[in-house]
Amino acid sequence: MMPIGLVELTERASLQTRIDRKYVIPSAKLDVLLRGIEPGARVLEIDGERDFAYESVYFDTPDLTSYLGAAHRRRRRFKLRTRTYVDSALCWVEVKTRGPRGSTVKTRLPYDPDDRDTLTDEGRRFAGDVLDSDAAVGKTLVSTYRRTTLFLPATASRTTIDTGLVWTSALTGASRALPDRVVIETKTGSTPSSTDRLLWRHGHRPVRISKYGTGMAALHADLPHHPWRRVLDRHVTL
């Protein structure tokens, strides 16, 4: 597969407002799927590497407004996190909100990776401005994984493939891993990508999985978890 650089990928498929479809598949089925990827697809490559370590630190209010908004499918739900690209030591503070027709809107600000475990005054002001709220927030969950990113020129969309997902609760210190599962996300405009159609042909349908919501539900059995029950039952041992 031919490479694509980060600058070109960002120019051609930034997709800060997008439709996300997510799938969880057994790791053993990944190679078969990759052989069917759209001709002309390109893989993100930076300094000769195509597989990158990610760390996301999630923040929420003391009464878990962000988590409960997702658990109860509230229209004005949000996620607040720092996202660190570990290999390149780049970091952002990001707010994800809901846009029209179920789209995801991501707003972000460059951030010091040394501060990724907390929200500085600048980070709090940024989040408060995006969310129009001054509610106090604290660290609740950390997720780590490795990601490969594909660019699909036919739809100017992206497909990400996440492996080695580990969740760690900042509230209890407990951890949960998904060593034999792959999380695939397609990030498109309004039109499904060829990756979506490939997955459908192999019998894989989109599922409700949120690295924050599902991770919190997996680590805190007392929390409401209806949107992620199917994923929890099929792919995560509670």
Instruction: Evaluate whether 93 touches 119 at the Cβ level (below 8 Å).
Output: yes
| Residue 238 pLDDT exceeds 50 | no
Model pLDDT for residues 55-90, shown as the tens digit of each residue = 999 999 999 999 999 999 888 899 999 999 999 889
Q: Distance (Å, rounded) from C-alpha 234 to C-alpha 229?
A: 8
Q: Distance (Å, rounded) from C-alpha 183 to C-alpha 23?
A: 6
The first and second tokens of residue 120, run together, are 């500085």
Q: Distance (Å, rounded) from C-alpha 176 to C-alpha 180?
A: 12
pLDDT at 191: 83
The first and second tokens of residue 153, run together, are 């020129």
Mean pLDDT of the chain: 92
Greater confidence, 137 or 99?
Answer: 137
- Percent of the chain exceeding pLDDT 70 equals 96
Instruction: Evaluate whether 18 touches 134 at the Cβ level (below 8 Å).
Output: no
Model pLDDT for residues 178-221, shown as the tens digit of each residue = 989 999 999 887 788 999 999 999 999 999 999 999 999 999 99
pTM of the shown model = 0.91
Please give the average per-residue pLDDT across 38-66, as a whole number: 96
pLDDT at 7: 87
